[in-house]
Structure 1
Amino acid sequence: MPFIELQTNLPASSFSEDFVKKLGSSTAAALGKPEDRMNVVVKPGVLMLMAGCCSPCVILSVSAIGVTDTAEKNKGHSAKIFDFLTKELGLAEDRIVIQFNALQPHQVGKKGTVMSFL
């Protein structure tokens, strides 16, 4: 049950429901997770500074159980996600940062319990 949160200073008009769905499907594919388990949030119009500059940029947080826990895994995920974001948003790689967070099953609640018990 990955959580994807994209924060950007690009305006809301740059995003559509179709983009959110594509972001979900592309990150699901990158992480090797089913699309129906993805949770995606897009926060446009955020005041942001990256590398000393307020030019268009993106910070993407990827939190997941079991697939973001090593450098080797995240290197592969990063390449696939960067490919999607640079093509879809027209941003250079140096204007995108991805943060990977490894979650444990006891840290994710669902259906009145936690994933450890599902």
Structure 2
Amino acid sequence: MPFIDLHSNLPAASFSEDFVRKLSSCAAAALGKPEDRMNVVVKPGLPMLIGGSCSPCVMLSVAAIDVTDTAEKNKGHSAKLFAFLTKELGLTEDRIVIVFHAVQPHQVGKMGTVVSFL
């Protein structure tokens, strides 16, 4: 049950429903998770700064159970997500930052309980 949270100073027009679906599909494939478990939020038009510059940029937060807990895993995820974001948004890699969060099953609520009990 991954959570993908994209923040950007790009305008809302840069993020069509098709983009959100492609991001979900890319992240699911990168993380090895089923697409029907993905949770994606895109927040455009934010005042943002990366590396001292307010030029167009993206901060992506990726939280998931069991697949974001090592450097080796995240290195692979990062490569796939960077390739997608640079292609789809026309940004250079220095204008994108990805933060990975390892989540435990007891930290995710679903269907009136937590994932540990599902």
Same fold (TM over 0.5): yes
Aligned to 1:7: 7
Q: Which amino acid aligns with 1:57?
A: C
**Cα RMSD after superposing both structures:** 0.3
Query: Which secondary structure state, in structure 2, belongs to the residue aligned with residue 88 of structure 1?
Result: helix
Q: Which runs of 5 or more residues in structure 2 are unaligned?
A: none
Aligned to 2:72: 72
Distance of 1:74 and 1:15 partners within structure 2: 24
Distance of 1:59 and 1:85 partners within structure 2: 10
Aligned to 1:51: 51
Q: Which amino acid aligns with 1:116?
A: S
User: How many residues end up aligned between the 2 structures?
Assistant: 118
Shift in Å at residue 15 of structure 1?
A: 1.0
Per-residue CA deviations over 1:11-52 (Å, capped at 9, x if unaligned) read: 001110000000000000000000000000000000001100
User: Does structure 1 residue 102 correspond to structure 2 residue 85?
Assistant: no
TM-score of the superposition, structure 2-length normalised?
Answer: 0.99
4+ runs deviating over 3 angstroms: none
Aligned to 1:35: 35
Shift in Å at residue 104 of structure 1?
A: 0.2
Q: Which runs of 5 or more residues in structure 1 are unaligned?
A: none
